[in-house]
Amino acid sequence: MKIRFCIGKRSCRNLQFEHKIKNNRVNVVRNRIANKKEAEREAYSLNFFDAYLYALQKYIKNRDFLEK
């Protein structure tokens, strides 16, 4: 699963998730949701959010570094 984030003009990131992590996520979510498709959808959205936060943190760190 690859997601590309662009935050600002020059900070694009390719983020790739390991298959294992995604599967673990699906299993965790599946314990709460009976429907497998729903569980997978929720796991993808969790991954998406994680990636977004990760990219945001990287961007903020880079920006702070450049401003110093």
Residue-number span of the structural domain to which 32 is assigned: 2-67
pLDDT surpassing 50 at residue 16: no
Query: Quick check: 51 and 1 in contact, CB under 8 A?
Result: no
Q: How many CB atoms lie under 10 A from the CB of residue 26?
A: 19
pLDDT surpassing 60 at residue 56: yes
15 pLDDT band, cuts 50/70/90, is very low
Residue 4, pLDDT score: 54
User: In total, how many domains does the chain have?
Assistant: 1
Residue 55, C-beta contacts closer than 8 angstroms, at least 6 positions apart: 5, 7, 11, 13, 15
Calculate what percentage of the chain has a pLDDT beyond 70.
21
In this prediction the pTM is 0.31
Among residues 56, 24, 30, 54, which one has the least CA distance to residue 42?
30
What is the rounded distance in angstroms from the CA atom of residue 61 to the CA atom of residue 34? 40
36 pLDDT band, cuts 50/70/90, is low
